[in-house]
Amino acid sequence: MTAAAADRPSLREMAESVASGAVEPSTFVAESLEAIRQDRSRIPPIHPFLWVDEKAAARAGERAAANRLSGPLAGVPVAIKDNMATLELPTTCGSRILDGYCSPFEATTVQRLKDAGAVVVGKTNLDEFAMGSSTENSAIAPTRNPRDPTRVPGGSSGGSAAAVAAGMVPGALGSDTGGSVRQPASFCGVVGIKPTYGRVSRYGLVAFASSLDQIGTFGRSVRDAALLLQVIAGPDPRDSTCARSDVPDLLKASSGSAEGMVVGVPDEYFPDSLDAGVRALCDEALARMQEAGAEVRRVSLPHTEYAVPTYYIIATAEASSNLARYDGVRYGPRPAEARSTGEFYEMVRSRGFGSEVKRRIMLGTYVLSAGYYEAFYGRAQKVRALIAQDFARVFDAGVHVVFTPTSPTVAFRIGEKIDDPLQMYLSDIFTVTANLAGLPAISLPIGSIGGLPVGGQILARRWDEATMVRAATVLEGALRTRG
């Protein structure tokens, strides 16, 4: 986060000061809108937001006056990635094909935040349809990293991460299909959680790769990100993949200790080629965990090297099928000059999608096509199972959490990888496994290199967000006392 953000009250402090009556219910919302406005006059702007609800503060005031603004997050401003459906603001996924689309319904996560009293101030920028690792694939404009505006904020939830890192909002929602919450959190120096697949309802989340997509949270501390997760998680009859099981008390988890905790460190995530600075910060984080009472144990996840190709086969296959629905008939720009239905679709889709989305649709269509299906898609499903088994074996051997770097590097420069999709894909190496195996994972800041933040990742067993949050809180505390 930036120095300006560090001076802002935390999400929990905001909630507490509104609840106690010390601060008016619309004050933090108004401050948030002002910070967003100020960014527009900065050269260049960070530009985390695509859509801003300028009336959010007035609305919050009215709701409070009518006694309709209550709950654990009353008066807390939050931001939502623009691939989740909202009633008051457009939902465009950073794509031209959804230009002007306003959803007639609301995502469960958004509804739960509002029910808890939170106020949505705006929708944040993303790589088109959440496909990317830098937010440069947004059809509208890129977002910059608040710590260094010449660099990317990461992606695809770069807008949400940047908004939190710049102190514009204390918390935000993102989506994570292969790292899109954790990697931008790492690049911007904030905390990002990807929950267990099925922990949070996907109702109202625009689908990218349905078997991997999961909504996650951003905060400036583990506690704030966990608090948001607590509010949005839990059963939802509108999403059949959302588990019916109860959500653990994550706030209680955030006050535990690391005594007796076994932290697994997989060799495959620390290759010889790993950036020396990233490695040193990881070693230091592990030393702190040890001092705090944890046992650090070397482990092996042997199928890690196949994770990126497996992910890019499954994710593109599912994307090609999910994105078939964008035909331009009900919304989006309509080409008046089309002479046939076929020509209409062709014009809509070739003009409406950006080049990365087209690349994914083509890759996905290819791996699903007759003759190649078994060789690519079928095989990828098998390798996905092996990757999940690797983790299961490690956890069954008594390891409670696994620690890795979140990303092999710090934030790269804007433009550095945009013309080299393979390099961009390879930067997802440490994050895609959690999605393939359905595990919960968190990224938290563990230091910086030349002023640029580095994130450490902690993964846990499916449904064990409590242990993950406990480990992350211990590490965060231990690093803070280091100064």
Q: Footprint of ligand GLN on this chain (CB under 6 A)?
A: 130-133, 156, 175-180, 208, 315, 428
186 catalytic per annotation:
no
Q: How far is the CB of 370 from ligand GLN (least distance, A)?
A: 25
324 vs 426, which CB is nearer to ligand GLN?
426
- Please, which residues bridge with residue 174 across strands? 216
- Please, which residues bridge with residue 443 across strands? 192, 457
Q: List, in order, residues 6 or more apart from 190 with CB less than 8 Å away.
A: 1, 161, 164, 165, 218, 219, 220, 445
Structure tokens at 151: 């660099």
Q: How far is the CB of 140 from ligand GLN (least distance, A)?
A: 17
176 vs 268, which CB is nearer to ligand GLN?
176
Contact in structure between 394 and 264 (CB atoms under 8 Å): yes
Q: How far is the CB of 323 from ligand GLN (least distance, A)?
A: 13
123 catalytic per annotation:
no
32 vs 156, which CB is nearer to ligand GLN?
156
**Closest chain position to ligand GLN (CB):** 180
Q: Which of 156, 186, 201, 407 is flagged as catalytic?
A: 156
By C-alpha distance, which of 464, 440, 422, 410 is closest to 154? 410
Q: Which of 32, 95, 138, 180 is flagged as catalytic?
A: 180
39 vs 127, which CB is nearer to ligand GLN?
127
Q: How far is the CB of 134 from ligand GLN (least distance, A)?
A: 9
By C-alpha distance, which of 245, 286, 242 is closest to 263? 286
103 vs 177, which CB is nearer to ligand GLN?
177
Q: Which of 81, 114, 123, 194 is flagged as catalytic?
A: 81
Structure tokens at 372: 């190649």
Q: How far is the CB of 203 from ligand GLN (least distance, A)?
A: 18
- Neighbouring C-beta atoms of residue 244, cutoff 10 Å: 9
Q: How far is the CB of 341 from ligand GLN (least distance, A)?
A: 31
Structure tokens at 66: 């009518």
| Rounded alpha-carbon distances, angstroms, from residue 8 to 14, 32, 237, 246, 417 | 9, 10, 37, 33, 33
131 vs 399, which CB is nearer to ligand GLN?
131
Rounding to the nearest 10 degrees, give the CA dihedral for residues 352, 356, 357, 361.
130
Q: How far is the CB of 436 from ligand GLN (least distance, A)?
A: 12
208 vs 326, which CB is nearer to ligand GLN?
208
Amino acid, res. 397 = A
427 catalytic per annotation:
no
Active site residues: 81, 156, 180
